[in-house]
Amino acid sequence: MRGASAIENLLTSNSDPKLRVLVVWEPILSTDFRPPGRSVLARISDKRAKQFWDPEHAVAQELGRIAKERPGGPEPACCVSKGFHWDEAIVYAPGSQWKQMPPAVFWNGPVVREMTGIEKAIHRSDR
């Protein structure tokens, strides 16, 4: 939950209307048996953020596949549980298209501990 609040703070401090955040909630902990409620989703209220529940870990599975297929790119130093990536932030350059499997300019976690790296990657990508 602290990662969600940290991302909301990042969005508050960065007014770039082109900045987009995708928040994927997935069941990792034993308490994650249903989608996040309103109070959890309200931690990120900025309209540039899109949040969704991924009970089948489709995004995490795709990220794992991409990490294996793109050697040499940034890889997270943590945050794999039950074989699924979670609590990670990935920053892509402006104009990146998911269907082209763009290289990440930053990928690490846990989110709350990596905010400095996330902010630096966003600023580098803006240039």
What's the total number of domains in the chain?
1
Query: Residue-wise pLDDT tens for the chain (127 aa)?
Result: 688 889 999 999 999 999 999 999 999 888 888 999 999 999 999 999 999 999 999 998 888 887 777 766 777 778 888 888 889 999 988 888 877 777 888 999 999 999 999 999 998 876 5
Host domain of residue 65: 2-125
> Cα 85 to chain center, whole Å?
10
pLDDT at 1: 65
Question: What are the angstrom distances between the C-alpha of 105 and each of 31, 52, 72?
Answer: 32, 23, 11
Q: In whole angstroms, what is the distance from residue 29 CA to residue 34 CA?
A: 11
Instruction: Supply 76's token pair.
Output: 């997270």
